[in-house]
């Protein structure tokens, strides 16, 4: 997939570094040896706030938790850089679906495809372990 027209920021961006409002699509990548590999595709009408949600990784919000935990694990344990590419969108949900479809058909393994959980019934440590195992699968690194 061609990422022309996307801006890039290292996760987690400093306050004021991202637009506060407007429709956006974005893609998380892990980077090793200058190779960028997509890990998650999202859409939002508040990019700066959305990145804060991922940084907080609240277990009660499964997407926030999974993406935030993946970014932290890749950055802190696997020593990979994590970047977010983003661009404005007039129809974020549609653009998100199209990007996911394109990347999956190109062979990408995305966190979007990992089944979610119900935080009322799930165990936080088990879900963290699942995210870490997913990241290990992506990076080819075994524990």
For the question of whether the overall pTM of this predicted structure is more than 0.85, the answer is yes
Residue-wise pLDDT tens digits, 50-99: 999 999 999 999 999 999 999 999 999 899 999 999 999 999 999 999 99
Count: domains in the chain: 1
Count of residues in the chain:
143
Question: Among all chains, which residue has been given the structure tokens 């996760």?
Answer: 11
Cα(72)–Cα(95) distance, integer angstroms: 26
Residue 122 forms part of a structural domain: yes
Q: Which domain holds residue 131?
A: 7-139
Residue 2 forms part of a structural domain: no
Cα(62)–Cα(82) distance, integer angstroms: 20
Residue 28 forms part of a structural domain: yes
- What is residue 140's predicted lDDT score, i.e. its pLDDT? 85
């Amino acid at each position: 997939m061609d990422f022309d027209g996307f801006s890039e920021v290292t996760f987690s961006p400093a306050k004021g570094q991202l637009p506060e409002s407007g429709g956006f699509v974005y893609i998380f990548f892990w980077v090793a040896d200058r190779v960028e590999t997509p890990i998650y595709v999202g859409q939002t009408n508040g990019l700066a706030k959305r990145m804060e949600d991922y940084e907080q990784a609240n277990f009660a919000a499964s997407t926030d938790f999974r993406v935030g935990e993946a970014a932290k694990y890749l950055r802190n344990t696997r020593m990979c850089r994590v970047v977010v590419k983003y661009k404005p969108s007039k129809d974020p949900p549609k653009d998100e679906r199209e990007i996911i479809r394109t990347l999956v058909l190109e062979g990408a393994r995305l966190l979007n495809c990992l089944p979610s959980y119900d935080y009322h019934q799930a165990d936080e440590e088990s879900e963290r372990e699942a995210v870490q195992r997913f990241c290990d699968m992506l990076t080819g690194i075994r524990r």
